[in-house]
Structure 1
Amino acid sequence: MEAEKNPNHPPPPPRSALRSVVIVATCTLAMLVNTASATSSSIALPKIGQDLDIPAQKLQWIVSAYSLTSGCLLLFFGRLADLYGRKRAFVAGSLCMFTFALGCGFAKNDITIDILRGFQGLGAAATIPASLGILAHAFPPSRARSLAFATFSAGAPVGAALGMVIGGVLTQLTRPSWRSTFYFSAGLTALCLIGGIISMDADIPSTETDARVDWIGAALVTVGLTLIVFVLSDGEIAPNGWKTPYIIVLLILGVLLVVAFLFWQRYLESVLDDPNAKYSKWTPPPLMKLSLWKRAKGKMAVMLWVAFLNWSCFLAWNFWVQLYYQDYLRLSPVLTMVRLLPMFLTGIVCNFIVALVVGRVDVVFLIVTGTLFTGCAAIFFAAINPSAPYWAFGFPAAIISVFGADFTFASGTLFVAKVALPHEQSLAGALFQTMTQLGTAFGLTISTIVFNRVLKRGSLKLGVVPDASGMNVPLPAQLKAYEAAQWTAFGFGMLATLLAIVFLRGVGIVGHQHPNKEKETDSEHTVAETQ
């Protein structure tokens, strides 16, 4: 039996078809703005560095500051959304994103823009898990839910492509240049804010009898993840690289805090499950039940790790392709955007494919197909011939690169909504999002390490000492480094495919089904319903 079918969970109120469409459009737009905010600033980095006199090694923090806060606070804000209202969280997050995106457009130095980007990420950390909870409650298991989640999922890859398209055009062709990208993000976020206020259902009280917040767990996981993501972002550019003392210390401390969080959650869950346990203000309900990872006979954990690896592949591919076009081939932002435009179109097509087949096809087929295609996109650039026409390598790679993002995100979020209880929909969605954000940081870090090592080795063979950007290295050495980074992305994609093939068999269909086929036989899931 579905976790959604809880007698204590009131059904969504009746609404018009138009209002339902606006809800889906608003949530999808929030996801689109989230990813576009990262990619639009990424493609504008060279121009930002030039205008604000920011050293090349510090430019990445304009992207990393946003990812740091938006990724590390997802669990905490997801829990708050479940407890105190998903619409409230969505509106507050949209207002935060709008305010600080607008502020970024007026920034005068690197410190200011980094801080404002961090605060902008706070808004995304609130809106995305709230969106998942809103859709899960607004659309019970049905064809409408499948369509809603497929459309929402398309916001991620389409937003990434749109961010590059609009970012490239605005950076090169408008007078404010890169500042226009932040004004554009602010404008889209304003639409999210208005849509959330006028269309979303009013918040309903949480079905949990104990609505306390696990502040200790929230502090442990937020600080721990923040330190880990910071180290992943800064390790390669630290004074002595990964051997820098503060990098080593912060990495160890971050890992210890995350481990402490897991033990603390296990303890709180054991207290919650003990009928003889005495009430204590020090033992609130856990921020994240570890048993959530065991849902569907452990396939929940596998799905989360597949999402982690798929995003490691997709975002690493995306990052190095942009640099290849702009720094190696010396193309302008607009010409780079044009070469990546097929991603936007394919993302829309993938959305329709998922919506049509997710209620008929076993999810393992969608996951395997998606991760395999995204991994193969990296092969095209790992074996690229710079003198070959764009249609030989760049075009087919752009076409197939978004399959993994679309298929994995849509299938994964539907699966998470299916196995999560009504009062933990936003938290479960936040957990899925956290894994994708960590996968992004991990993929960029590992591929950057590989790129730098290969670049350095190639430079030494040629008797050249590379500068911070590596641009004084002869082109053959640079090309080898780009190829190595793409082979690394390919490895992430293939590992995700292997996990899906081996461990996701038997999940079945996660989209809309006929009511008499919606029986859940997983005994662990049945236990979860009674908690």
Structure 2
Amino acid sequence: MISDHQKHEGRMDGHDVPQNMPDLEKLGKERPSTFSSLWSEIAFCFSVVMSQILGEFFITGSNVITPTLVVELDIPEASTIWPATALSLAVTATLLIFGRLTDMYGGYAVYNIGLMALTISSILVGISQSWLMLVIFRAFQGLALAACLPSGMMLLGSVYRPGPRKNLVFSIYGGCAVLGFFSGFFFAGVCSEFTTWRWYFFIGAILSAITLFSSLFSIPRHNLEEPRKPVRMDWAGCCLSIPAISLVVFAIADSPHAPQGWKTPYILVLFIVGCLLLGLLVWVEGWMVKNPLLPGDIFHVHSMVPLIIALLYLMSEIMGASPLQIVAWSTPMAVGGFILSITGGLILHKVSGTILMIVSCLGYVGSGLLLATIPLGGNYWAFIFPAMICGTIGIDISFNLANVFITTKLHQSRQGLSGAIIYCTMHMGIAVMLGFADIVQTQTCHLGRQESYKAVFWFESGLAILGLILGLLFVRIDQAESELTEDEKMQFQSSGREHIATGLDV
């Protein structure tokens, strides 16, 4: 970030500012030159933000139809978590790999291949004749999303330079997550009530196909596929990360349903083997390879505690809500979340990121405490509605802030990795924390269903409070103002600080 005072004084981070330095504030507000018109920019943004909508659509809606799947596909009680968990597990285990592939081959190719795979796998899930077939193709959906999410982030990060326009576009992108969240609930609820669960996946396939068609023609290949710093696949990290993450997450998620819990031999063995592989992965990535999947210099921890499934069960089991009631109750989260995201995009360059992160943590805490203290038959407006609003504040602010901050701080050659980091933390939270939430619920079920579900939200509240403490002590993020990109800063330093303006036409 270059302040007016720094420009006046001729200084920038300890260096002389060149006389031909362009107006960064103006560049940060202008439409990128890669778009010939506003409509071409809108078509591009639609094609990319749809990946965000589809990701949430296939995660949240599947939880609504799970009770129907259990009956119609005769899913064993011990396997009821896998129609939802298989997707998150596949996404979590492969996001870093697809992030690297994006940096190697460009966002256009990886993104469209991912959309094609998502369309096909969604159709196959919809025609599944057994629960095992459904779980397998749900995992394939996860692989497709793992390709779409980081490449979509890379496309946005590559086109938009730091400034108000990028803040607004990324906030719209983040706001579309709550639209996807709500649309997943909506279509799953409607299909459960009036048609068949299969149409939920067929609708998802139709939306994926529309997005694929749009992206093939609206995403510009020029300026996105320019030669970048050579990037190679880390095969050692690839071969270790997938089994390590999969085994640990599987052991945690399946332990509450195993015959003897953590005493079940296969649970304990898989968990130990997974932890050993994780330790080996850390050693190999940290000291043995030159191009690790997750370079240490960009490691960024961002905590997100998911509560979607626990919230769903609280509504449907404790408060007696039907699928369509859940849709109605979730509406404030969708509408409020989108409005909050757009508003956030307009103030990110004016308000300290540290303050916004603290507000986000307070939203997480408030949501957890409201749901943990709700009485039997509690009033919707007194508990559920404010919990939805608080949850929206927590999710949308932290997600949008992380998107803008990480994509701005990483070089062009690591934009795919930036998306992988953001989504990996999110889906790791979904896969792992929901497993721990399930453990909490099963270990407290002797207290009664209501109290055991409340225990889950006390668990979530504790993690949110921990996140708040960490935010207060360690998070320091400035306003997301117009500034040089990381590549421009490097060019500025290496070119004798004379010709940087020639590289600013993004």
TM range (shorter): 0.7 to 0.9
* Alignment correspondent of 1:478: 449
Q: Unpaired segments of 5 or more residues in structure 2?
A: 3-31, 495-506
1:265–1:205 Cα change, 3 Å: farther
1:508 and 2:478 equivalent?
Answer: yes
Q: Distance in 2 between matches of 1:526 and 1:82?
A: 19
Cα offset, 1:355, TM superposition: 1.0
**Of the candidates 367, 376, 379, which is equivalent to residue 357 of structure 2?**
367
Question: 1:143-178, CA deviations, whole angstroms, 9 ceiling, x for partnerless residues?
Answer: 22111111111222332232112211221122xx21
1:229 and 2:229 equivalent?
Answer: no
Contact 1:370 1:408 in 2 (8 A): yes
Residue identity (%): 26
- The DSSP-based 3-state class of the residue aligned with 2:229 is coil
Q: Distance in 1 between matches of 2:313 and 2:232?
A: 47
Q: Distance in 2 between matches of 1:213 and 1:17?
A: 37
Compare 233-242 and 133-142 and name the one that shifted more: 233-242
Cα offset, 1:128, TM superposition: 0.3
**Of the candidates 325, 328, 332, which is equivalent to residue 322 of structure 2?**
332
Cα offset, 1:96, TM superposition: 0.6
* Alignment correspondent of 2:42: 21
1:201 and 2:172 equivalent?
Answer: no
* Alignment correspondent of 1:51: 72
* Alignment correspondent of 1:277: none
- The DSSP-based 3-state class of the residue aligned with 1:393 is helix
1:362–1:223 Cα change, 3 Å: same
User: For residues 28-107 of structure 1, what are the structure 2 equivalents within 5 Å?
Assistant: 28-107=49-128
Q: Distance in 1 between matches of 2:186 and 2:365?
A: 23
Q: Distance in 2 between matches of 1:353 and 1:89?
A: 31
Cα offset, 1:379, TM superposition: 1.2
Q: Distance in 2 between matches of 1:373 and 1:435?
A: 19
Q: Distance in 2 between matches of 1:36 and 1:519?
A: 33
1:447 and 2:448 equivalent?
Answer: no
Cα offset, 1:206, TM superposition: 4.2
Following TM superposition, the consecutive aligned residue runs of length 4 or more in structure 1 with deviations greater than 4 angstroms are none
* Alignment correspondent of 1:247: 267
User: For residues 73-472 of structure 1, what are the structure 2 equivalents within 5 Å?
Assistant: 73-174=94-195, 177-202=196-221, 203-209=224-230, 211-268=231-288, 272=290, 285-293=291-299, 301=300, 304=301, 307-308=302-303, 310=304, 312=305, 315-316=306-307, 318-456=308-446, 458=447
Question: 1:283-319, CA deviations, whole angstroms, 9 ceiling, x for partnerless residues?
Answer: xx332211212xxxxxxx3xx2xx33x2x2xx22x21
Compare 122-131 and 366-375 and name the one that shifted more: 366-375
Question: 1:181-225, CA deviations, whole angstroms, 9 ceiling, x for partnerless residues?
Answer: 10111111112211211111214144123x331111111112211
1:15–1:252 Cα change, 3 Å: farther
Q: Which amino acid aligns with 1:171?
A: S
Q: Distance in 1 between matches of 2:490 and 2:473?
A: 24
Cα offset, 1:15, TM superposition: 3.2
Q: Distance in 2 between matches of 1:166 and 1:371?
A: 30
Cα offset, 1:398, TM superposition: 1.5
Cα offset, 1:81, TM superposition: 0.8
1:485–1:88 Cα change, 3 Å: same
Question: 1:110-163, CA deviations, whole angstroms, 9 ceiling, x for partnerless residues?
Answer: 110000101111110000000111001111112221111111112223322321
**Of the candidates 499, 515, 520, which is equivalent to residue 470 of structure 2?**
499
Contact 1:236 1:449 in 2 (8 A): yes
Cα offset, 1:255, TM superposition: 2.0
Cα offset, 1:526, TM superposition: 7.0
Q: Which amino acid aligns with 1:231?
A: A
Question: 1:409-439, CA deviations, whole angstroms, 9 ceiling, x for partnerless residues?
Answer: 1000111111111101111220121111111
Q: Which amino acid aligns with 2:182?
A: A
Q: Distance in 2 between matches of 1:23 and 1:226?
A: 34
Q: Distance in 2 between matches of 1:240 and 1:123?
A: 35
* Alignment correspondent of 2:11: none
Q: Which amino acid aligns with 2:465?
A: M
TM-score, with structure 1 as normaliser: 0.83
- The DSSP-based 3-state class of the residue aligned with 2:294 is coil
Contact 1:31 1:156 in 2 (8 A): yes
Cα offset, 1:329, TM superposition: 2.9
Cα offset, 1:93, TM superposition: 0.3
Q: Distance in 2 between matches of 1:427 and 1:392?
A: 42
1:12–1:229 Cα change, 3 Å: farther
Q: Which amino acid aligns with 1:291?
A: D
Question: 1:213-246, CA deviations, whole angstroms, 9 ceiling, x for partnerless residues?
Answer: 1111111112211212222221211222112222
* Alignment correspondent of 1:471: none
Cα offset, 1:399, TM superposition: 2.0
Cα offset, 1:252, TM superposition: 1.8
1:206–1:222 Cα change, 3 Å: farther
- The DSSP-based 3-state class of the residue aligned with 2:379 is coil
Cα offset, 1:14, TM superposition: 4.3
- The DSSP-based 3-state class of the residue aligned with 1:331 is coil
Q: Which amino acid aligns with 2:251?
A: V
Contact 2:164 2:346 in 1 (8 A): no
* Alignment correspondent of 2:18: none
